[in-house]
Chains A and B, each alone.
Chain A
Amino acid sequence: MTDTKTLNVGQPLERTEDLRLLRGRGRYADDLPVSPRTLNAAILRSPHAHAEIETIDITEAMSMPGVAAVITGEDVAQHSDPFLVALRQPLHQWPLAVGRVRYVGEPVAVVIADDRYLAEDAVDALQVSYKPLPSVIDPEEAASDGAPLVHEEAGTNLVSVRDFTYGDPDAAFAEADHTFKLTTQFPRHSYMPMENFVVVAEYKIEDESYDVLSNFQGPYSTHPVMSRALRVPGSRLRLRTPRDSGGSFGIKLAVFPYIVLMSVASKITGRPVRWVEDRYEHLTAANSCPNRVTTLEAAVTKDGVITALRFDQLEDYGAFLRAPMPGPLYRMQGAITGAYAIDNVAITNKIVVSNKMPAGLVRGFGGPQLYFALERMTNHIAGELGMDHLDLIRKNLIPAGSFPYKAAAGSLLDSGDYQKAIEITTGEGRLEDLIKRRDAARAQGKLYGIGYAAIVEPGMSNMGYLSTLLTAEAREKSGPKNGAISMATVNVEPMGTVSITADCMPQGQGHETILAQIVSDQLGLAPEDITVNVEHDTQKDQWSIAAGTYSCRFTPGTAVAAQMAAAQVRDKLAKIAAKNLNTPAENIEFTDGKIHAAGNPDNAISFGRVAGTAHWAPAELPDGMEAGIRETASWTPPELEAPSPGDHINTSLTYGFVFDMCGVEVDPVTAMVRIDRYVTMHDAGKLLNPLIAEGQVLGSFAQGIGTALHEEFLYDDDGNFLTGTFADYLIPTVAEVPRPEILHMASPSPFTPLGAKGMAEGCCMSTPVCIANAVSDALGVNVAQLPMSPKRLHALIDEDEPPRPSGAGQ
């Protein structure tokens, strides 16, 4: 029994989820039973980066055993509409190619058969005649005049260009002692989950509705996109998500086109249809972060104070702009100045399409792209001015004591003390040790460098930020968008047991444990006495457009809604108990399963008895009180306003701070990077569960290592996909991931009732650039492209090839 006198929130409680997962009793999407009538789908995908589909001959496939149907783009166009696009551009996308393929891996046809083996046999028998077209892969080439057009109707590949000015950057640049310019390239990659996409869809002819089970992760702003495509009202697209999901990291949003595809397949076949993506499909076509080319200019005083930044961001979304793209380009807009007090900013945001797989959500979501450019730049400035990078960082940080701080582009940074965070990190001899290690290594002729990165980590997105993409006039016309609604329900059953449902789709984060911690504190119960059910059903459960688990919204969002719902239950129970205990409701406390008068634990009634009154004896309830106890709370923070006429936008609710420093050694022969020591400091406000928080840091750090050194989706010049297995696409294993030293401090957020901030993406943003800065220091170069593969680093090592190691043979 947990001691309920100590608050459960803030304790490193072991997770309740583990009790089933460790026994192999998790229930992921493909573990759930389906109707015996269910058919299975396999997808034929395009081998061309760009081609016209001339004919699809399905005759042989249809004659094969167990085949029920073959579905092509024509069928899909007949039964569904193209997906809505955030941009007013004719970038029509259906879940199957209609007439033309635009990337290798694009779905071309679906075979529906008795089982997956038979469906794959028939996929091999499909005969498609393609007329290849010129393709374009490189973003800058795609954006240039005369490039092959990915969407002819759009007339250009550069489908959006928007300029933003905050403050007076031109004046700052004119007055600057120094200006610097650096172009960086952020690669395509994906923090792909170990569980692939799963969809089971059933068309219900009786009310022309669709019933879908999928490991979708939200945001549920995509639900209207799906129901519109399927030509049904939202209430007739029932979307259910299972209790367990095998990781997501943003990626499982991109299952939504397949939800529509399998729904159409079910309508055509009249049977439920199941599709389980395989790893080759996932690597080739599921999802990638957008690659970005950033040219960043900085205006700097002779003392190293940055007075203005000018961003030119060219972001490559691949063949289509799927909802909610171009999120990554705008998610960081308000906080584009990161941890620094820089008043003058110019931004040009350019969106380009190319013949690659469509981009989508990937953990970090615009942050890694931004900070790779920004923190490489601060490192570059320091080097050029002969300053220590750490000194330059310190000089430009937002001053302590100035929070909440309104950043130039509109973010309202809620709390922090960045100077103190850095002082703690470098203290206790940590920085001295790094310097000692570097000096010792260099004395031996080794290539050793130290890197730093200071970043601000956003939590819970303003659902209105994407409208910054539109001009103020266009926004005026379409109506304001803002806020971020979170919902949770606390239910008390007739015998006083408590259960919770919520609008999140956890993928391993441990939300069940944390929700029980929060609600148990409010109700004076033990967490293990509370049942949390995180299966979600759009026809039965609470949700709004922000629902889902993405962009660190659980802690600043759903967790708050749960706290509010529990407080509503508590208020109700206190009022009921007040009558029996003969004391005012304000004087009631909840402890150890008892409800009692403050300071008088003997004057108590059991929690279950008070709760039971609401069910068994509603006539005894105080006047005006509703019978039963089921409270749903809805929370949207007022700070998340729509973009201002001047395009200022508070893109997120909470802003944590991460400071990383590391020492790395580069092997001059193999060009492999060895991380010698890594320290990462996180200020995420109050931690709800430190054990889980540490897990989030460790996981995002490992992914950051992947981005820094290993992971990249590669295409050749013709658009052929080169990284279709785990032997080609390298995800770090235990040998590549050292254990970082993790430090915490807590500047509680004034904008969330629990004081907690989103904190799961920090090292995805900080670690790649911290390592890049260290490698730059080691090699005396400007690393401008990730990942820092041996091949890329070899090209940067400005030395003759070293002699072959002895014993290496001839």
Chain B
Amino acid sequence: MLKLEKDTRHKVRFVLNGSPVSGWADARMLLSDFLRQELGETGTHVGCEHGVCGACTVRIEGRAVRSCLTLAVQAEGFDIQTVEGLAGDDGALNALQTAFRKHHALQCGYCTSGILMSLTDMFQRNPSPSRDEIEDVVGGHICRCTGYAGIMDAALEVAEAGAGK
């Protein structure tokens, strides 16, 4: 097992949205803080820092993870995707993002990054989830603005198109 010194900064390297990145982190630094403060990738938001609200959700090796409950050093060597990595190579919104806009599934946009990452995880494993399955995933997030109706509509549209890949 890797042992890390408390008062030493450690080099952390991983693949972020397809590109290798690296930075320095104390052993206790959260992945959310590392992404935002060390790498300057501020699309991942911090809402509660105790794992309930879901705003900070990112994908590590494809699985949705709360970055506020993950240490930066734990991410060493992994493949990580954040909201900044969702749009296509040409910068165009993907099917889920487009559906979010169409169905007014976001207002302030603060919780949106995390919800998009959780739904992306779900669609990756199940391109045509049922309403209940979608609700299970959205139920892991708090949105204060929208009342969730637009989020459900957007996810259902993507599910029905089977385009959730």
Contacts and interface: CB of A to CB of B under 8 A. Distances in A.
B73 interface: no
Nearest to A506: B108
Contacts of A22: 83, 86-87, 93, 97, 100-101, 106, 109, 112, 116
Contacts of B31: none
Contacts of A21: 106, 108-109, 112
Contacts of B125: none
Given A24-B43, A194-B45, A731 B144 contact: yes
Nearest to B141: A733
B82 to A, nearest CB: 7
Contacts of A510: 107
Interface stretch (A12-20, A87-95, A169-177, A316-324): A12-20
B64 interface: no
Given A24-B84, A194-B110, A727 B52 contact: yes
Interface string A686-728: 0000011011001111110000000000000000000001110
A193 B142 contact: no
Contacts of B110: 26, 28, 193-195, 246-247, 508
Interface in B105-136: 106-113, 116, 135
B107 A733 contact: no
B147 interface: yes
A14 B107 CA distance: 11
A141 to B, nearest CB: 33
Contact of B49 (A30, A244, A246, A278): A278
A289 to B, nearest CB: 15
B55 interface: yes
B138 A734 contact: yes
Contacts of A507: 108
Contact of B104 (A24, A245, A695, A727): A695
Interface string A206-230: 0000000000000000000000000
B150 A735 contact: no
A194 to B, nearest CB: 4
B16 to A, nearest CB: 12
A733 B47 contact: no
Nearest to A17: B109
B3 interface: no
Main secondary structure of the interface of B (DSSP, over half): loop
A23 interface: yes
Contacts of A247: 107-108, 110, 144-145
Nearest to B135: A734
Contacts of A279: 47-50, 53
Contacts of B84: 23-25
Given A18-B106, A195-B45, A508 B26 contact: no
B48 to A, nearest CB: 4
A616 interface: no
B63 to A, nearest CB: 19
B152 interface: yes
A731 B97 CA distance: 25
A30 B111 CA distance: 15
Interface in A189-210: 191-196
Given A117-B28, A194-B108, A734-B139, A23 B144 contact: no
Contacts of B113: 24
Nearest to B146: A699
Interface string B48-66: 1110110100000000000
Nearest to A14: B101
B111 to A, nearest CB: 5
A19 B148 CA distance: 19
A508 B28 contact: no
A24 B28 contact: no
Contacts of B36: 30-31
A558 B131 CA distance: 40
A756 B52 CA distance: 38
Nearest to B98: A22
Contacts of B49: 278-279
B142 A195 contact: no
A663 to B, nearest CB: 19
Interface in B73-105: 82-84, 86-87, 93, 97, 100-102, 104
Interface in A1-57: 14-15, 17-19, 21-28, 30-31
Contacts of A726: 48, 50, 52-53, 142
A249 B145 CA distance: 9
Given A14-B102, A28-B45, A192 B144 contact: yes
A509 interface: yes
A117 B108 contact: no
A737 interface: yes
A181 interface: no
Given A191-B144, A726-B50, A734-B148, A25 B108 contact: no
B22 interface: no
19 contacts: A22-B97, A23-B84, A23-B87, A24-B82, A24-B84, A26-B43, A31-B36, A117-B26, A117-B29, A194-B45, A195-B108, A695-B107, A698-B150, A700-B147, A702-B146, A725-B48, A726-B50, A726-B53, A731-B144
Interface of A: 14-15, 17-19, 21-28, 30-31, 117, 191-196, 244-247, 249, 278-280, 507-510, 691-692, 694-695, 698-703, 725-727, 731, 733-735, 737, 739
Given A733-B138, A733-B142, 15 more contacts: A14-B101, A15-B101, A19-B101, A22-B97, A23-B86, A24-B86, A30-B36, A31-B42, A193-B110, A194-B55, A194-B142, A279-B48, A280-B50, A698-B147, A727-B52
| 8 A-B pairs with the lowest CB-CB distances in the bound complex, closest first | A24-B43, A508-B108, A246-B110, A21-B109, A702-B147, A508-B107, A24-B83, A698-B147
